[in-house]
Amino acid sequence: MHVIATAGHVDHGKSTLVRALTGMEPDRWAEERRRGMTIDLGFAWTTLPSGATVAFVDVPGHERFVPNMLAGVGPVPAALVVVAADGGWMPQSAEHLAALDALGVRYGLLAVTRSDLADPTPALAQARAHLAESSLGHVEAVAVSGATGAGLDELGKALDRLVARLPVPDTAAPVRLWVDRSFTIRGSGTVVTGTLGAGSIRVGDALELAASHRLVRVRGLQSLGAPAQQATGVARVAVNLRGVERTEIRRGDALVSPDRFQLTDLVDVRLHGDPVGTLPPEVTLHAGSAAVIASVRPLGTDTARLRLSAPLPLRIGDRALLRDPGRHHVAGGVTVLDVVPPPLRRRGAAAARAAVLSTMDGTSDEAGELRRRGLVRRSDLARMGVPVATAPVTADWHADPAHWAALRRRLAEEVARYRDTHPLEPGAPVETLRQLLRLPDRALVTALVAPPLVAREGRISSGAPGGLPAPIARAVDQVRTELAGQPFRAPDSERLAALGLGPKEIGAAVRAGALVRIAEGVVLLPDALDAAVPVLAKLSAPFTMAQAREALGTTRRVAVPLLELLDRRGVTRRLPDDTRVLAHRGGGLD
């Protein structure tokens, strides 16, 4: 299906033409028919000679209803510009064309209507010249009469040529359905309609009410008046929603694929149209079917920051329109450059930001986005409208390579600094490092670890073996000297204190592998456990604790925990009568 919006001055024959083409009544309201004037959007559809289906969004031409017109045109990629042969180019012809131009609509067709009332040639030439200056460019033009039907066949063929040129949207794209109507159907509940630009909606889908992030369920679907299981953009769709009251959703709201759009009230944009400096401080931003007040902060010559009166689901590259409602003036179109722009706090930040924005054009730029943000989650990028092709640094985090390398250097520095200030600890805690590096996730700290750094038990250390502070290393050397020839004579607590080996120092020495602790306050050299085996092997089995203590040349303070440790390691085996044997496991202690 294709969707085309009408455009043109009031009473120039838009609705009459749609009626003649489709046999349907675009003016839905009694008041519209009574006044002979379109007030709100109308919808009608037909099959073209080729068999293609085209739906029309018929807009009002009266200047008072331009906001309605914009709500209809916003999500539609093509336009049928209507000019009356007897009216010629008029103010709303110009305003509607300015709107199409601002939105960057590139596909269009000109119909000169009421050609039974006047020679269409001058109006046609005049209108084509105006259109040629816009984003529509050089378009086909057809003279028609809604009254006599003259030119309608011609127009049908021209419409076929137009729709054949329309770009094919991505059916896998996330859904963003800008609501243009909402109503209730007895027995079904709330129904909303809109123009689906891309992606697919299926019955049963969960969608999000963008403004509130509320999940709603698609209970039923219609397209062109017929029930459907699925609708794929571009399409006119009516969505029956479960879990939402009619009063909770209205024109300007959007139904979106959950988690796929950034809801934002602050955007940086490039302006196409009036110079930024001539914009009033407040304008109306029209995006999709939404209209919100936007305060303008000029940044560069054609870039600005907009603060929106209500958040909208916007993405990088979106086109929208700025209008000064007081002056009935379309100030221009905008291309969204950034939906999560950085705050401008410091002096000179605005100028710096303008320089950055001057390099951006609203196309998805993964490398640029990473460069500007340093670190960002894949899901956040996707919400901004930037699909990610590179590999994450960890989990769903993506990093700018230069930023990542700098973080890696800083991590090494911080680990070294921590070791100097906390010599007794086995490395810097990951959480401390996360805070020092101002990282949003501990997983990033771990991901930054590269040799010679090592991560162990929630800490990062430089990994250099034997990295004991000098006083502890000296004390351990002294212990080694004193234990020479009597490896099981563990120093008593007094001796340890005299050597400066308190619990913390002993902990550090144990972690460094310089001592083994067999009980609280009882330390031996690391090879003592191995050395005990041949000594015990010389005893006749089974042996008692007293025999073992004597053979080892030590006291019960050492012998008891030492044998218990050997039991636990399966080197010795304790029998029911408290004697022991060596387990037969061929030597080694590991």
Ligand X SMILES: Nc1nc2c(ncn2[C@@H]2O[C@H](COP(=O)(O)OP(=O)(O)OP(=O)(O)O)[C@@H](O)[C@H]2O)c(=O)[nH]1
**Closest distance between Mg ion and the C-beta of residue 116, in Å?**
18
What DSSP assignment string belongs to 44-113? EEEE-TTS-EEEEEE---SGGGHHHHHHHHTT-SEEEEEEETTT-S-HHHHHHHHHHHHTT--EEEEEEE
286 binds ligand X (CB under 6 A): no
To Mg ion, the closest distance from the beta carbon of 3 in angstroms equals: 17
Q: How far is the CB of 150 from ligand X (least distance, A)?
A: 8
36 near ligand X, rule: CB under 6 A: yes
The 3-state DSSP class for residue 421 equals: helix
Q: How many residues bind ligand X (CB under 6 A)?
A: 21
The pair phi, psi for residue 382, each rounded to 5°, is: -60, -40
Round to whole Å and give the CA distance between 528 and 566.
11
Task: Tell me how far apart the alpha carbons of residues 83 and 89 are, in angstroms, rounded to a whole number.
Answer: 7
**Site track 101-120 with ligand X (rule: CB under 6 A), x = hit:** ------------xx-xx---
Examine residue 146 and tell whether it contacts ligand X (CB under 6 A).
yes
* Residue 130 vs 511, nearer CB to ligand X: 130
Cβ–Cβ under 8 Å, residues 389 and 366: yes
Would you say 11 or 338 has its CB closer to ligand X?
A: 11
Q: How far, in Å, CA of 18 to CA of 289, rounded? A: 21
- By CB under 5 A, which span of 34-42, 184-192, 340-348, 579-587 interacts with Mg ion? 34-42
Which range binds Mg ion by CB under 5 A, 13-21, 193-201, 300-308, 484-492? 13-21
- Choice between 86 and 380, CB closer to ligand X: 86
What are the tokens at 193? 């309609």
Q: Which does 174 bind (CB under 5 to 8 A by kind): ligand X, Mg ion, none?
A: none
If binding is defined by CB under 5 A, does position 15 make contact with Mg ion? yes
Round to whole Å and give the CA distance between 198 and 168: 9
Interaction partner, residue 96 (ligand X, Mg ion, none; CB < 5-8 Å by kind): none
Q: Which is nearer to ligand X, 69 or 449 (CB)?
A: 69
Q: Does 62 bind ligand X (CB under 6 A)?
A: yes
Q: Single out the residue of 46, 68, 135, 145 in contact with ligand X (rule: CB under 6 A).
A: 145
Q: Per CB under 5 A, which of residues 560..579 are in contact with Mg ion? A: none
240 makes contact with Mg ion (CB under 5 A): no
Give the residue with the Cβ less far from Mg ion, 8 or 220.
8
Residue 340 binds which one of Mg ion, ligand X, none, with CB within 5 to 8 A depending on kind? none
Note whether 86 binds ligand X by CB under 6 A: no
Listed residue (119, 73, 120, 121) closest to 96, CA to CA: 73
Question: 145 touches which of ligand X, Mg ion, none (CB within 5 to 8 A by kind)?
Answer: ligand X
Q: Which is nearer to Mg ion, 83 or 271 (CB)?
A: 83
Give whichever of 15 and 461 is closer to Mg ion, judged by the CB atom. Answer: 15
Q: Which does 13 bind (CB under 5 to 8 A by kind): ligand X, Mg ion, none?
A: ligand X
10 Å Cβ neighbour count for 77? 23
Residue partners of 25: CB distance under 8 A and separation at least 6: 19, 33, 42, 44
Q: Where are the alpha helices (DSSP H) in 147-201?
A: 152-165
**Considering the rule CB under 6 A, would residue 37 count as an interface residue with ligand X?**
yes
Angstrom CA distances, 268 to 323, 380, 385, 386, stand at 17, 17, 14, 16
62 contact choice in ligand X, Mg ion, none (CB below 5 to 8 Å, kind-dependent): ligand X
| Gap between the Cα atoms of 66 and 62, Å rounded | 7
What value, to the nearest 5°, has the Cα angle with vertex 269 and ends 265 and 274? 120
Minimum Å gap between C-beta 285 and ligand X is 24
C-alpha–C-alpha distance, residues 170 and 234, integer Å? 9
Residue 353 interacts with ligand X (CB under 6 A)?
no
- 122 Cβ neighbours under 8 A, 6+ residues apart: 88
At residue 190, φ and ψ (nearest 5 deg) are -80, 135
Q: Is the peptide bond before 561 cis (omega within 30 degrees of 0)?
A: no
Task: From the list Mg ion, ligand X, none, pick the one residue 36 interacts with, judged by a Cβ distance below 5 to 8 Å according to partner type.
Answer: ligand X
* 156 in Cβ contact with 80 (< 8 Å): no
Q: Is omega for the bond preceding 452 within 30 degrees of 0, making it cis?
A: yes
Touching Mg ion, residues 36-65 (CB under 5 A): 38
Q: Which is nearer to ligand X, 10 or 287 (CB)?
A: 10
Rounded to the nearest 10 degrees, how much is the dihedral formed by the CA atoms of 284, 287, 292, 298? -50
Which residue lies nearer to ligand X by CB, 36 or 392? 36
Question: Is 14 an interacting residue with respect to Mg ion (CB under 5 A)?
Answer: yes
Q: Which of residues 7-26 bind ligand X (CB under 6 A)?
A: 8, 10-16
C-alpha closest to that of 414 among 430, 401, 425: 430
Q: Which of 22, 38, 223, 257 binds ligand X (CB under 6 A)?
A: 38
DSSP label at residue 342: P
Closer to ligand X at the Cβ: 71 or 558? 71
User: How many residues lie near Mg ion (CB under 5 A)?
Assistant: 3
Nearer of residues 89 and 530 to ligand X, judged by Cβ: 89
- 150-179 residues near ligand X, rule: CB under 6 A: none
Q: Site map for ligand X, 196-225, x if CB under 6 A? A: ------------------------------
**Which is it for strands 140-143 and 107-113: parallel, antiparallel or unpaired?**
parallel
Taking the mean position of all CA atoms in its chain, how far away is CA 30?
45
Output the smallest distance, CB 55 to ligand X, in A: 17
Q: Which does 147 bind (CB under 5 to 8 A by kind): ligand X, Mg ion, none?
A: ligand X
Residue pair 114/145 in contact by the 8 Å Cβ criterion = yes
Tell me how far apart the alpha carbons of residues 123 and 220 are, in angstroms, rounded to a whole number.
45
Closest separation between CB of residue 147 and ligand X, Å? 3
Chain residue whose CB lies nearest ligand X: 61
Per CB under 6 A, residues contacting ligand X are: 8, 10-16, 36-38, 60-62, 113-114, 116-117, 145-147
Per CB under 5 A, residues contacting Mg ion are: 14-15, 38
